[in-house]
């Protein structure tokens, strides 16, 4: 019998790619998403697939799944500042109540669970590059705290279920990832730059552009997640590309890639925006035998082709979802 996997956030950027990967590996996939930031377009190619089913559900509410579940991937959460600053309470709930519900389901089903943590647990780091042993420099009451602390709590809850209940848990700390199915208007730097270039707008750099990021192509990330889930290692593991670049240099790369004639303009740096971001991936290399394979130039070309294929409606749409139904909760 085929093994069965539950993927939360399945209609999101990463969740949809993970759904593809597990179907390719021969699993039966249950995709779960409340579509608050996910989009059914990301999984429309799976409609009618005999091994894929979709459940529209908020994981912050009680979860019931009939039959066996072998693996759970908890990837439900707003992941961009433009979202979690608009729906802060829901962001906190999916990282706390949602994680609690899914860990309880893993315990009841005797399933192995991997939770999607983030490089944001390191905050604005004072250690560079960031190792898994670094505890972070996070402002719990700042505007980004709703996301950072939700993920930090998620890790603590996951470890508690591992040590107290013996649940098989895995924790992946994801660094900046990009690729097809990213939302063009989600507020993160890569789609923001490409979107501005495609619309003929100036590229907006916050601060002086000296802050750094490290971008990992989605196929590499999915491979790392899969290997970590199938490993015997239960402590957090960084998965990301250590090829670091300044935001200003990255803007210049996008200008060269897209051939835009627009200029770079500068605006004030957002509060608590991390100055540096680079994963230390020794654990991924030694424990999982994983490291990124796809260069930034190769990945950006694929991603740019995807964004160019979007409709004008998608290109100029300012808001992705109407959050009004969730704001009151």
> Which residues form the catalytic set?
147
CA dihedral of 60, 65, 71, 72, whole degrees rounded to 10 = -10
Q: Is 52 within 8 Å of 31 (Cβ atoms)?
A: yes
Let me know: does 95 contact 68? Beta carbons within 8 Å.
no
In sequence order, which residues have a C-beta less than 8 Å from that of residue 116 and are 6 or more positions away?
A: 9, 14, 73, 74, 75, 77, 172, 174
Q: Are 134 and 122 within 8 A, CB to CB?
A: yes
């Amino acid at each position: 019998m085929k093994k069965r996997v539950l993927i939360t956030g399945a209609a999101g950027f990463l969740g949809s790619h993970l759904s593809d990967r597990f179907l390719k590996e021969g699993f039966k996939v249950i995709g779960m998403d409340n579509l608050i930031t996910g989009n059914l377009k990301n999984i429309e190619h799976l409609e009618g697939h005999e091994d894929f089913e979709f459940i529209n559900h908020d994981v912050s509410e009680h979860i019931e799944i009939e039959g066996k579940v072998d693996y759970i991937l908890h990837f439900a959460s707003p992941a961009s500042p433009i979202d979690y600053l608009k729906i802060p309470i829901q962001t906190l709930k999916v990282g706390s109540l949602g994680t609690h519900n899914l860990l309880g389901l893993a315990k009841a089903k005797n399933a192995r669970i991997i939770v999607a943590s983030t490089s944001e647990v390191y905050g604005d780091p004072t250690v560079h590059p960031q190792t898994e042993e670094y505890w972070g420099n996070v402002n719990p009451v700042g505007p980004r705290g709703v996301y950072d602390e939700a993920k930090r709590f998620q890790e603590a809850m996951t470890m508690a279920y591992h040590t107290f209940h013996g649940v098989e848990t895995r924790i992946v700390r994801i660094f900046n990832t990009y690729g097809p199915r990213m939302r063009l208007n989600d507020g993160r730097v890569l789609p923001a730059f490409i979107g501005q270039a495609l619309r003929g707008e100036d590229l907006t750099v916050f601060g002086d552009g000296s802050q750094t990021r490290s971008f990992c192509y989605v196929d590499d990330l999915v491979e790392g997640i899969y290997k970590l889930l199938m490993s015997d290692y239960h402590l957090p593991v960084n998965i990301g590309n250590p090829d670091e670049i300044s935001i200003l240099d990255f803007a210049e790369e996008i200008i060269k890639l897209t051939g835009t004639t627009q200029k770079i303009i500068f605006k004030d740096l957002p509060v608590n925006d991390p100055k540096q971001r680079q994963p230390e991936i020794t654990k991924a290399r030694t424990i999982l035998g994983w490291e990124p394979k796809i260069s930034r130039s190769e990945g950006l070309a694929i991603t740019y082709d995807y964004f160019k294929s979007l409709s004008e409606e998608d290109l100029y749409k300012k808001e992705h979802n109407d959050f009004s139904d969730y704001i009151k909760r």
